[in-house]
Every structure is written in C-alpha cells, then in structure tokens.
A and B are shown apart, each in its own frame.
Chain A
C-alpha cells in the first residue's frame, strides 16, 4: 500500500475569476521516500503541499492517504489524522512564543489520544535532534537553527507517517540549513518518509526524488542521480 496516492488532483480558487492552482496532478509516494517538490513561486507547490498535508481539500480528483480516501473525512477527522500521521516543519518555524522548548514539542501530544508519557517522549525526540541541553529554554532564547530543530522534534513526537518540510532552510544561514538537511537525511535513513518543498536546487538534491511543478502542473518526476550527502564541515569552509 502506498503512503500517498493522488490521481487527477485539482485545486481551483474562486475569487471573482476561477484560477487553477493545481491541474490534473497524479503521482504516488511510497513509505520511506524522500521527495522534494520544486518549482518557482506560483507553481502550485505550496497548494499541493497543503492538500497532501491535509490542511486543504482538493477541488477534484482522488487522494488516498495511507489507504484512506480523505475527501470523505470532515474537519475534525482531518485534524485527528494530521495529529497522528503528519509532522510539519515550516520555513518560519512557527513555534509558540513565551513557551519552553519542551512544551513546544509536547504540543501535538496535547491534542492526541495517545496515552504515552508526553514529557519523556518529547525529551527523547529533542535528544535525537541534539537539543537535550535546551529543554527549559524559551523559544526566544535559542538560535534559528535550534528553532528549526525544535520544529523537527515537534514533527517527530507523534511518530508521524510523513514529515512535510516547507522551505525548512529558507530562513537559516547556510551552516544551520545544512544541519537541518543533515538531520532530515538521517531521519529518512531511519525509515521516515519526508516530503520537502523548496525552490533551491541545492536543497532539493538532498532528496532521493524530485517532483517539478510549473503553472499548477507536474512537469517532471525524476530520481536524483547524484544525491548530495550533506556534510556540515564542508559548508563551514
């Protein structure tokens, strides 16, 4: 069973005139893949990611997520599914202000029915992104790279089936960006499915497969031949 299966996916917006943000897009993503969705702004890559991330609904076509036809789910069911199956990493971090690193990572567990020890689980994932020493720091006391690592930990805390990373390095310096990409690659090596949205070729080449979008259409779907293995030391030089 594929993780994500879309067929003739469409998304239109009506605001006086009808615009097609997404036209007849079809592809399949299997578990364990590392896919980069590329394209210039306005290409529909964000719209695609919002639909795949269950934040938005398609106007037409079929979307099977983990065997479920999501078009039949209501808002609350989508929220539950997002909570259990999907982790998000945003360009602008989107951490809660005036809240500790630990509490930020615990956040998805508040909305979960999982009866696990939230604090313990959050500490585990924070350790895996190398932030054990920052648990009680507030989010305004840590660097941008650290913020994004908190966001990754938050995406991992619910053992999501897929992690969506929307321009995760866009607001970071190259060294921090490289660290984030390295973590994402390691997570993928551990078996996590990762879908990356980016417009930088350099970042996209860290993935194993690239979907290129243009004017709301999928224009190419290729495996990355020379996959870039991120080495942080290289970047510093």
Chain B
C-alpha cells in the first residue's frame, strides 16, 4: 500500500510537471481561495483585537444607561427610535449620589447633534457633543491647550467650547484658537481648550467633535432629555451591584413599580457585555466572510475536476496498461485521487504562505497608520484551509478518478 502511495505521488508529480501551465492555473484557483480565507480570518482577528483593545483601554469599569426598553435578545431594538426621551439631566445628577450608588466614581451625560462651526471665513461641519464637566473623568482624554469646562459653566448655560484636534486644525490652521470666538449654528462660543489627538475609539472620532456644556446644547437643540449616560465605577467587580443600584434609582425616579425590569424605560449596559457583543458580532462577520472566500475554493475545485478529466483522457492507454499488468480498480482510483489531492494540497500550502505574508504586510501597514493591530494567524484557519483544500481535491477528483478506475483494459489499451 505504501509502495503504491509513493508511486502515486511520483506519477502525480511527473504528470503535473508535464502539464505545467494547466497545473499552475488549476493550482492558482486553490491558492487564491486559501489565501483569501487566511487573510480574511487574520484581518477579522486583527479588527476584533483592535476594537477590543480600545474598549479595554477605556476600562471595563464603565456602565452605560440608554433610554428606551429593549429585549435582551435584540440589543438594537431601541436604536431605530430616535427620540427616546426618557432620560434626563437630573437622572444623571441623581446617579452621582454616593449614598445611593456607593461605587460610583463619575457620571457623565450626553446630548449629541451636528453643528456647523465658523471662524472668520472658515466653516466646518462636525459632531456637537453636549456633555457634563465630568466627561474627562469618565471617558479619559488629555487637553492639548487650555482647559475643559467646569460644572459652574455647565449650570450657567455658558457658551464655551472645547475643540477636537481636527476641528481646531480645520478652523484655525496655524492660528491660535484658545481665547477666540467661534460661531456654532449661529451661536457665539468662546474657545477655552483643545483636546489632545486621540483618534477613533469604537467608531467614534474623538478628534472630530466640539464639546460644549450639556445644558447649553439642550437649549440650542430645544430638548430637555439626554441621549445617554455613562457611569464609571470603582472596579469591574462592582459593576453588577452598581447596575442594580442604578436601576433602583431610575425606577424610583420614573415611577416604575415593576422590579422585574419588564416596564423599564431605560437599559443598563456595561463594557463587559459590550465586549461580548462585539466579539460575537465580529466573530460571525469573520466566519461569514471566510465562508464567502471558501466559495472560491469550490470554483477552484471545478478547475481540479476539469484538469483531472483531461489527465484521465490523456492517460487512457496508460490506465489500460496498468490494468493489464495487474492494477486493480482501487490502484487506479488511488493514483488519480492522489494526483488531485496533491494539486490542491500544494495549492493550499502556497495559499497559506501567501495568506500569511499578505496578513503580515497588512499588519505592518496598520502599525504604520498607528493602529494597535495584532498579527493573528490562528492555527485553526491554517488547518481549516488545508483540510478544505485537500477535501476539495478529494471531492472533485473522485469522479474523474472513479471513471478512470472503471475503464475497460482492452478499450483503454486501444484508445488513440
């Protein structure tokens, strides 16, 4: 048996080498398929690690309170409805009470919109983030120039603005910004600070925002509710207790008697949950894309079938001879199957090498662009690629090989 296998590999090599271009083109389909699977799996893992590390950088001790009621099975149910108005500034203030919520460090409320900022002849449209003075305590961030607004300015409806770094560059260029007056949606604001460059954190560009006191923002937008509240607690272990405290306070404030949570007009989420959710989403996205890429392997497989038919036809006389000399059906079947698997396996190995190389260059590129991108090639994806590619060879090579094994030796010997 082993002798037959070695012989089959030898025959396969000779036959592949004698049809170099055909073999190469056939292999190319497998190479591309396998390389795409590897690259997609790797990019997926990279993006995942990037998002997760960003969330972890923010700290896993954050709780978010969003308005509206959603089922646990459907975390996005409330996102469709824009004007969910059940959370207020006073809710946020109440949550700061150390007696009711002992583990709280800071609470920030947010009310967001869009604004067009003007300075002299420059105009720039950007996100307008109305927030509390406690924003930096909760979400972090450094000031490059000037200062952030304080709670006094927050309560006095002051028109002061802290600019994201990109906004500053767009409006002021080389000029000084702190101390200047700008117009946002036709209201005049004093620029009191500029945030240090921070980049995109979880799909939110911190450099492309203008931060203003939340009460000022509410008045400008003519609303009396807040978009969401973020709470920073002592440590991750305190999250479950704090969530219960937060729910109790909000139910009391909103006159909700149902303690089961069935009638809540708000949702409490923590970063650990968000981590799980994002992992789940990116995982399914990653596998979906990998399956799409694997489809190209099926196309490659049809190529294999084609070249195997050519190979069988070209070697009909050889099959006849082998049978005359005593080859049994399974010897012939084995010979052609080994050949098919050989092509796909070599294609698979080359594909893995290409895939890993491409993933590596993508990692280098991402690092050059300043992303904390991990170079991840899972053993699973390599094994998967190898198993799938040789499986493709086995599957698509079987029919031509089976046909060859059933050839009648006399007819095969006489084949011209």
Contact = CB atoms under 8 A, between A and B. Distances in A.
Interface string A97-135: 011000000011011100000000000000000000000
A94 B3 contact: no
Interface stretch (B37-45, B59-67, B192-200, B320-328): B320-328
A55 B326 contact: no
Contacts of A96: 318, 321
A158 B88 CA distance: 96
Contacts of A76: 328-329
A83 B318 contact: no
Interface string B309-343: 00000000110111111111101000000000000
B413 A94 contact: yes
Interface residues of B, number: 21
Contacts of B99: none
Nearest to A80: B326
Contact of B326 (A90, A98, A112): A112
A67 B328 CA distance: 22
A214 interface: no
- Most chain A CB atoms below 10 A, which of B320, B323, B326, B410: B326
B14 A110 contact: no
B409 to A, nearest CB: 5
A80 B329 CA distance: 11
B121 interface: no
Contact of B3 (A50, A98, A110): A110
B322 A107 contact: yes
Contacts of A55: 323-324, 409-410, 413
A60 B328 CA distance: 25
A99 B317 CA distance: 15
A99 B7 CA distance: 12
A84 interface: yes
Given A55-B410, A110-B3, A83 B326 contact: yes
A107 B329 contact: no
Contacts of B326: 79-80, 82-84, 108, 111-112, 158
Contacts of B260: none
A139 to B, nearest CB: 12
Contact of A88 (B3, B7, B18, B324): B324
A154 interface: yes
Given A79-B326, A80-B326, A82-B325, 17 more contacts: A55-B409, A55-B410, A56-B410, A75-B328, A83-B326, A84-B326, A94-B320, A94-B324, A96-B321, A98-B18, A99-B14, A111-B4, A111-B325, A111-B327, A112-B326, A154-B325, A158-B326
